Chains A and B, each alone.
Chain A
Amino acid sequence: MIIQTPEAVMFWILAPLSVIAALGMLLVKKAVHSALLLAWVMITLAIFYIAQEALFLGIVQIVVYTGAVMMLFLFILMLVGVDASDSLKETIPGLRPIAITAAIGFGGLLTALIGRATLGRDAVGLADANAAGNVQGLAALLFSDYVWPFEVISALLITAAMGAMVLAHHQRTVARPSQRQSSIARFRSGSLSTAAGLPGPGVFARHNAVDVPALLPDGTPAPTSISATLKARGDMLESGQFQLDVVDTTVAEEK
């Protein structure tokens, strides 16, 4: 069976793109970019499934993988946040060359194996199997020959859901402090500067975004007025540029 030209064109356009995206997944620094590239690889795979007469699997691939699984990944990424593990520095010396050599050997073996094992064998195609429709054919198989694996896999799904709930459940070992208790603790902590709460960000009347530290009476920026996450990410602006001695008077002149 020789694949018709439109599918061949699609394959030779999308296959290199998916390989590039998969390689990019290894090379980009931020985990969010990796997730986006993986989503692209999954979409190309869905297109390949549909092109290979697996319409149901193609739709399921988009709904389950790019929909649910990638959303879960992004959700966890936002929950965990960015930290030092995003860096590409290798911690075990000499690991990377060994890994790449082993992978090239493995890939070569796999490719050579496919090349040798499939020589002289002709593909049949799914025209007969899909005669009554792909979904109908799959359903007939799933609820006759594969009904026992189907039941087992439903048990697996329920177990996984329970396991996730058990693992993610967080039991407090000490009682949550009440508002009164935390207020007393603030006043007894030694310094009274934070007794009324941390200062809010922003320079009044000039720039009140959350990434601009507030100015203290002596003109220095107050570091406690900025979220620690913004500071760690390096997204903090200089509040010096919003000080009053650089007042821009162009508006007044226009009048």
Chain B
Amino acid sequence: MNPYNYLYLAGILFTIGAIGVVVRRNAIVVFMCVELMLNAANLSFVTFSRINGTLDGQVTAFFTMVVAACEVVVGLAIIVAIYRSRRSASVDDASLLKR
């Protein structure tokens, strides 16, 4: 086995996350799928760091984690704000601009 297998795994996890973002309706589950995609990208960063023999990939993955944490905090605050005004966490219900 060589380390490139980790890259294939990261690709598969990223794809699964992308399906989840499109298919699921609960905003919180959509958010979790975004987290899965970010984690898959992190795995490929760590693997590239090992393949290239430098630690720059790990530093980038570390920054990605911070950005993901910020995104979760703001995103969940938005979900709570929407839930408070509309009593629903479904991404299909917040379509007021369409009508």
Contacts and interface: CB of A to CB of B under 8 A. Distances in A.
A, B in one complex: yes
Contact of B1 (A3, A31, A164): A3
Contact of B53 (A3, A124, A156, A167): A124
Interface centre among B28, B56, B84 (most CB of A within 10 A): B28
Given A11-B1, A76-B76, A103 B19 contact: yes
A96 B28 CA distance: 19
Nearest to B52: A124
Given A49-B46, A52-B47, A100-B19, A73 B32 contact: yes
Per DSSP, are chain B's interface residues mostly helix, strand or loop, or mixed? helix
Nearest to B38: A65
Per DSSP, are chain A's interface residues mostly helix, strand or loop, or mixed? helix
A32 B58 CA distance: 31
Contacts of B68: 69
A73 B95 CA distance: 24
A80 interface: yes
A236 interface: no
Interface residues of B, number: 75
Contact of B50 (A35, A53, A79, A161): A53
B39 A125 contact: no
A124 B66 contact: no
A47 B67 CA distance: 21
B47 A99 contact: no
Given A45-B43, A61-B65, A167-B78, A26 B19 contact: yes
Interface in A1-23: 1-3, 7-8, 11-12, 15, 18-19, 22-23
A203 interface: no
A114 B8 contact: yes
A163 interface: yes
Q: Which 10 A-B pairs have the closest CB atoms?
A: A124-B53, A85-B90, A160-B70, A107-B15, A167-B77, A8-B1, A110-B11, A164-B77, A99-B22, A123-B51
7 contacts: A48-B43, A85-B90, A114-B4, A160-B69, A160-B71, A167-B78, A168-B81
